[in-house]
Amino acid sequence: MSEWKGKTALVTGASYGIGEAFARRLAADGANVIVTARSSDRLEVLANELRSRHDVDARVIEADLANPSAPEKVFSLTEGAGVQIDLLVNNAGFGAVGDFADIPLDHQIEMIQVNVTALVALSHLFLQPMIRRREGAIIQVASTASFQGVPYSSIYSATKAFILNFAEGLWAECREHGVRVLALCPGPTATHFQAVAGTSHLRDPKKMQTPEEVVDVGLKALAQNRSVAISGFGNKLMIGAERMAPRNLVTRMAAKLYRPFSTRGNQAR
Ligand SMILES: NC(=O)c1ccc[n+]([C@@H]2O[C@H](COP(=O)([O-])OP(=O)(O)OC[C@H]3O[C@@H](n4cnc5c(N)ncnc54)[C@H](OP(=O)(O)O)[C@@H]3O)[C@@H](O)[C@H]2O)c1
């Protein structure tokens, strides 16, 4: 029997991709789920399906995490209203590719707000009751991009590096409080992410992992109270090899790989 049966999970960014797969899997395992994102129409369809299919409670909270007040709103509608959250999946996020100097600053600041600031705020809010209960878990969705600077996706990879470091620190802090924290690091995964980041034309979905595979890796690693889980054997190998190589070599190789994402093409070189 799943450890999540009868518990309640809050999943951010559950309207698509990895977050939706988390909500589906947790509900199938018997967990009540609270799903949040901006696309409330999609979330309502998902919640209805999960309720009728799995006989669990499924609730929707519409929230735009680019809005600094959103984490407080999500908290006050859940824990603040007496609904105990046993598992928080901080999954909402997006990327953008191009030269840093060309991507509009507002868009990159919004990325930091959603990927980092909202994740930190939600972690702070929900961790406190978990520590008081000496029980609970947080999955922070990072990325294989957390492990190195990624040219032409510099802000995105920096947000993901933040999440990895933050999650590892929290994992160690929270051990003595009975709370588990995991940094889940997917590589390229077939979701809506590529379309949002503007990379669909350059990546073949058939060569990517599925969101269900990523979720499985995450939940297994959490059950073992690991601090970091890299999803996919090839991704693990790549990160392992990178760790042994000089950092600037890794960054130069990444620059070659990611150059097609440059908004300046070859004209500036
Ligand atoms: N797919 C990959 O290749 C990949 C690889 C490594 C890591 N990741 C990470 O995995 C996580 C999930 O991404 P995904 O691949 O599942 O992408 P996705 O299919 O595009 O889903 C992203 C989710 O985040 C939500 N979101 C985006 N902006 C938001 C905002 N301002 N407020 C609230 N919710 C927001 C979206 O919901 P709405 O648009 O409805 O708000 C959506 O539910 C992200 O953190 C991403 O960085 C993805």
Q: How far is the CA of 266 from the centre of ligand 1 (A)?
A: 30
When mean pLDDT is compared across 41-45, 113-117, 199-203, the lowest value belongs to: 199-203
Residue 15 lies in a domain: yes
Burial of 24 (0-12, 13-18, 19+ CB in 10 A): buried
- Pick the more confident residue, 114 or 260: 114
Per the annotation, the verdict on 16 as an active-site residue is no
- Whether ligand 1 lies within 6 angstroms of the CB of 143 is answered as yes
Residues 6 or more apart whose Cβ sits within 8 Å of residue 65: 12, 71, 92, 113, 114, 118
Q: Please write the tens of the pLDDT for every residue from 216-266.
A: 999 999 999 999 999 999 999 999 999 999 999 999 999 998 898 898 865
Distance 265 CA to ligand 1 centre (A): 27
Q: Is the CB of 117 under 6 A from ligand 1?
A: no
pLDDT higher than 70, residue 103: yes
**pLDDT confidence bin for 269, thresholds 50/70/90:** very low
96 found inside a domain: yes
Phi and psi angles of residue 8, each rounded to the nearest 5 degrees, phi first: -120, 130
Give percent of the chain above pLDDT 70.
98
Alpha-carbon distances, residue 7 vs 27, 33, 34, 58 (angstroms): 10, 9, 11, 12
The CA-atom distances, in angstroms, between 103 and each of 8, 129, 155, 202 are 38, 39, 10, 18
CB 227 within 8 A of CB 185: no
Residue 118 has pLDDT above 90, yes or no: yes
Please determine, for residue 73, whether its predicted confidence score (pLDDT) is greater than 70. Answer: yes
Strand partners, 141: 184
pLDDT, one tens digit per residue, over 146-180 is: 999 999 999 999 999 999 999 999 999 999 999 99
**Per the structure, how many domains does the chain have?**
1
Using CA atoms, how far apart are residues 116 and 160, in angstroms rounded to an integer?
Answer: 8
pLDDT given for residue 179 in this prediction: 98
Q: What is the pTM assigned to this prediction?
A: 0.97
Residue 269 lies in a domain: no
For ligand 1, atom 15, name the residue with the nearest CA.
193
In angstroms, rounded to a whole number, what is the distance separating the alpha carbons of residues 11 and 101? 33
Q: Which CATH number do you get for residue 27? A: 3.40.50.720
- Three-state DSSP class for residue 218: helix
Please compute the mean of the pLDDT values over residues 177-188 and round it to a whole number.
97
Percent over 90 (pLDDT), the chain: 90
Instruction: Measure 206 CA to ligand 1 centroid, in angstroms.
Output: 19
- Better-predicted residue by pLDDT, 203 or 208: 208
CA of 13 relative to ligand 1 center, distance in Å: 6
Residue 66 near ligand 1, beta carbon < 6 Å: yes
Query: For 92, phi and psi rounded to 5 degrees?
Result: -55, 135
Q: Is 209 touching ligand 1 by the criterion CB < 6 Å? A: no
Q: Does 3 map to a domain?
A: no
What is the reported pLDDT for 268?
Answer: 45
pLDDT of 264 reads: 84
**Ligand 1 pocket check: which of 140, 191, 212 to mutate, most ligand atoms within 8 Å of Cβ?**
191
Q: Is the pLDDT of residue 95 over 70?
A: yes
257 occurs within a structural domain: yes
8-49 per-position pLDDT tens digit: 999 999 999 999 999 999 999 999 999 999 999 999 999 999
Q: How far is CA 20 from the centre of its chain?
A: 11
pLDDT tens column, 52-65: 999 999 999 999 99
107 is a domain residue: yes
Q: What is the DSSP string of 24-81?
A: HHHHHTT-EEEEEES-HHHHHHHHHHHHHHH---EEEEE--TTSTTHHHHHHHTTGGG
Average pLDDT (64-91) is: 98
Quick check: is 130 in a domain? Answer: yes
Catalytic residue among 16, 152, 156, 258: 156
User: Is the pLDDT reported for residue 267 higher than 70?
Assistant: no
Residue 205 sits in which domain range?
Answer: 8-261
Handedness of CA 89, 213, 41, 156 (dihedral sign): positive
51 CB near ligand 1 (under 6 Å) = no
Residue 133: φ, ψ to 5°: -85, -10
The ligand 1 atom at the shortest distance from the C-alpha of residue 67 is 31
Q: How many A from CA of 146 to the centre of ligand 1?
A: 15
Helix axes of 105-112 and 154-175: crossing angle, nearest 10 degrees: 10
Torsion over CA: 154, 157, 163, 164 (sign) = negative
Domain contains 48:
yes
Looking at residue 228, what is its pLDDT? 98
Whether the pLDDT of residue 198 is over 90: the answer is: no
Confidence at residue 202, expressed as pLDDT on a 0 to 100 scale:
67
- Probe ligand 1: pick from 10, 36, 74, 91, max atoms within 8 Å of CB? 91
Of all protein residues, the one whose alpha carbon is nearest to atom 45 of ligand 1 is: 93
